[in-house]
Structure 1
């Protein structure tokens, strides 16, 4: 296979569609906790949600998974879905919401190019909530690659965005 093809620079991931075991429980997480808007129900077994009026960023369905167990962690599959917030204050707001709702957080990292909060949805699917730093703050290695790190994210400093 040729390796000289490059996807157009404006290409981005349009949506993620997840199999869930309980649609109401998944809606409680993605709509009520994370704040995505329900755009449509597809029968009784699927829902589509978005931010900002797009047709859908998240699809949820129980077509083949109703009442099922979470996917095994030690097998191939989705590692996490990442939701990019437009500003640091927005990331601070969702962090405060998670704290207020006593929702468990798996971790939080400063990756140099971004700041991220990690958690799991009710079906055990990994979720990353993050914001990118401006590109002029990114660091690069000698060969021109983006320098990414995994350092602890100072959550108290992030929450200062709210004051």
Structure 2
């Protein structure tokens, strides 16, 4: 028998009625096997689609990840609300706010970077940002998912280039 600590976030936590539990499992078990067992024990979880994120011991992992004694497994719904992208277009703050609005939240927090007037003792005339969009968007998504996991909130992260 192996003891596994399970953490559930956002809608999964709400469906089960708690965010943490310890389970004992027999034999070789993957994260997917554990998810299926949770679904059997907590049928409301079965209402969610097959898309979910899993972290093992604080690191994102695949559903086929083998588990071992003492692992902590977190099941996280895909980040809902918000977006994670790199764009050359103007960022429309009002639209981003609408994407993350949640009737259960008491606030919406925004951060908007600006161009500073001086850098390294020189006046800034203009900036041009560039990015490898696929890699940058993957990292933005990772950050957004971590925000979701830690605080159970919605997030949107957009980086303007050009």
Structure 1 length-normalised TM: 0.27
Structure 2 length-normalised TM: 0.27
Q: Higher relative CO (CA 8 A, sep ≥ 6), structure 1 or 2?
A: 2
Larger % of strand: which?
A: 1
Whichever of the two has the greater Rg, that structure is 2
